[in-house]
Copies of this chain bind each other. A is one copy, B any other.
Amino acid sequence: MNETIDTILSHRSIRKFKDEKLTKEQIHTIVRSAQQASTSSFVMAYTIIGITDDSKKQALMEISGQPYVKDNGHLFVFCGDLHRAHQLRNKADKEQQELITETIESTEQFIVTVIDGALAAQNAVLAAESMGLGACFLGSLRNDINKVSDLLQLPNHVVPLFGVAVGYPDHQPELKPRLPIETVYHENSYMEDEEQEELINEFDLTLKKYYDSRSTNTRIDTWTEQMIRKYSNPQRMDVSAFVKSKGLNKR
């Protein structure tokens, strides 16, 4: 074990921050850490928007429904970005220009931009955590992805992926359990359904115990119940049309 693995294994999402802003240096270190992540074909297909404007923070908080979108040490919004690459079209030959747009609008390149953004974000979160800060991913910004895009004035071929709120932790949640390792790590081929079902049943019991023992919450359902509740309630079904309207994931 080492310090990095300790940091990784100690991760919990922090949803309550002290009233203290990050310094410019901290923000710089976090963004530089994000940048050093691997990137597909050197495209660096993401942009990070730091939000310091209070009215924008307020608007994002309302979209998310979470107070820590406003009350934190710093708020980052990670965006998938193929606009930067698409702009280079202006320097390409006539016959290349159509092909560039076609490629950039593919699902393959949409996958690239989501992966690039997520790898960068995980580096950012770990860098922050290693400095004694806490962080929380905010997929909830996709509750109104159109509005987030307008607020940040994102051009074509750029889509907001998620926010990351960072700051000094003002609570210390228990470590949340994960699915048994055998459930997510298979060898050579995908596991049989029956075997997976048994592991999930086991995890349902683990999770019940965790909620029972947790000091701050009286939730008592299983993973199975949570997932059924979540997935039988279609949400953010407008994301698909939005992404296409921005010229991504179109073909």
Contacts and interface: CB of A to CB of B under 8 A. Distances in A.
Interface of A: 1-5, 7-9, 11, 13, 28-29, 31-38, 40-44, 46-53, 56, 81, 83-89, 91-93, 96-97, 99-100, 102-104, 106-108, 111-112, 114-115, 117-119, 121-123, 125-127, 129-131, 136-137, 139, 142, 151-155, 158, 161-162, 176, 178-179, 181, 183-190, 193, 196-197, 200, 223-224, 226-228, 230-237, 239-240, 243, 249, 251
Given A42-B226, A49-B187, 12 more contacts: A8-B126, A43-B230, A48-B185, A88-B224, A88-B228, A91-B224, A96-B232, A102-B234, A115-B117, A152-B190, A154-B190, A155-B190
A239 B108 contact: yes
B5 A3 contact: no
23 contacts: A2-B3, A2-B131, A3-B4, A5-B130, A8-B37, A11-B37, A41-B230, A42-B176, A43-B227, A43-B230, A44-B178, A47-B184, A47-B186, A85-B227, A91-B228, A100-B232, A106-B237, A107-B240, A108-B235, A114-B118, A119-B119, A119-B121, A237-B251
Contacts of A84: 183, 196, 200
Given A5-B130, A127-B4, A179 B44 contact: yes
A130 B29 CA distance: 18
A9 B32 contact: yes
Contacts of A142: 108, 111
Contact of A31 (B86, B185, B234, B235): B185
Contacts of A29: 1, 5
